[in-house]
Amino acid sequence: MKDVKIAFRKPIFPVSEALQQYLEKYNRTTKIQFLYEDLLRFSDSVNILDKDGKDTLWLGVMYPEYEFKEIEANLNKIYTLLHSDGDTATLPYLKVDTIDFCTFGNSKPFRVRVRNILNDNYTNFYIKQADASRIYGLELEDLLSPNRINFLIYKNTLIEEHILGIPGDVFIQKHMHNCTELEKAQISKEFVKFNERCLIGLLGDMRSYNYVVIPIHDFDQVIYRIRPIDFDQQTYEGNLKVYLPQYFKENHQMVSMVMEKLKPSSIEQYRKEVRSQIVKRVTSSKTRFDELITIMKTDNIAPEANVTELKTALQKLTYDVNFKYCKTMGDIIETGIKFVLRNYKKAY
């Protein structure tokens, strides 16, 4: 399989005033005065290794004691906003166990682990640099997919809830070979659906380490779901293959399993199911979707050359001449969704 390459790191795009107003309207903002830059004041760090002694590329960071107390208090408040609408009753029982820093991601995220000292249960969340295209990806995932996304914005700071699951690369290496033949067929179906959702929502770079596989026990069987955890490459690249997980070499074993377990007719059936489900979701949340796309259409979140390359490829793929008139990535998303609405609304 020929791998898809992303040549350059995507820049971070500022959040426009219109997008900020949209986020405020739908309760995506917070007034806690804590910025991403506040976490950059760490005084020391150590490499974090996994259970096999391999470098995870995350750094465990440490702060001077007088600064950490203030940071911990703000992080605990953020935790309550994400999980209990700001209920302060639990604050005395919360403790920040670790703060980790990732240097290789576009948004250079911090991972915060908050523990309840009464029962030792802990929860992770992330603090990142706010990026407009990433926020569009989070919102589109919330609107178009079966998954709900929980995040908050304060100025240039993005706070994201942790998404539970087994990282795709870990699942492929350590778990997939233990699955039954029936489970492999079910995972194949989910990968086809995931592939189709990424294409329609134009979510790129879904290599195996950018999504998770979620096992769910259902009576006498285990079923699997696949959902993305990284939204850095939302509607930026011009290469259409970037938006199709099947073309990344990291997903080769998944693709091989799909070809082995599913007939072409079944693959097409599952693709149609995804499109019909997206029609239902867009129809049921039309006002919010239209508001988001109206803002996205006026936002500059990709070079003109990328827009031209992508709309040309989609016109060839769909034979829809409307892609020819797209001027922004927002236009392309809207045209693609309208194409799905026209062709699959009758499916339900």
The whole-model pTM stands at: 0.93
Question: Treating both helix axes as pointing N-terminal to C-terminal, what angle do 264-284 and 329-344 enclose, rounded to 10 degrees?
Answer: 110
Return d(Cα 246, Cα 183) in angstroms, integer.
19
Please determine, for residue 326, whether its predicted confidence score (pLDDT) is greater than 60.
Answer: yes
Give the pLDDT score at 111: 97
Give the pLDDT score at 247: 96
Q: What is the pLDDT of residues 230-271, one digit of tens each?
A: 999 999 999 999 999 999 999 999 999 999 999 999 999 999
Q: Tokens at residue 344, please?
A: 């699959």
The length of the chain is 348
| Contact yes or no for 169/209 (Cβ under 8 A) | yes
Q: What is the pLDDT of residues 115-170, one digit of tens each?
A: 999 999 999 999 999 999 999 999 999 999 999 999 999 999 999 999 999 999 99
Please state the rounded mean pLDDT for residues 309-321.
97
Please give the backbone phi and psi of residue 26, each rounded to the nearest 5 degrees, phi first.
-105, 25
Please state the rounded mean pLDDT for residues 46-57.
87
Comparing 83 with 294, which gets the higher pLDDT? Answer: 294
Question: Which segment of 178-182, 212-216, 217-221, 235-239 scores lowest on mean pLDDT?
Answer: 217-221
Give the pLDDT score at 347: 47
Strand partners, 216: 223
Q: What is the pLDDT of residues 66-98, one digit of tens each?
A: 899 999 999 999 999 998 887 888 899 999 999
For 124-140, the DSSP string reads EEEEEE--HHHHHHHHH
32 band by pLDDT with thresholds 50, 70 and 90:
confident
Q: Tokens at residue 251, please?
A: 């997903």
* Alpha helices per DSSP H over the chain: 17-25, 65-84, 132-144, 168-174, 181-201, 252-261, 264-284, 286-297, 304-318, 329-344
For 141-169, the DSSP string reads HHHHSS----EEEETTEEEEEPPPSEEHH
Q: What is the pLDDT of residues 262-279, one digit of tens each?
A: 999 999 999 999 999 999
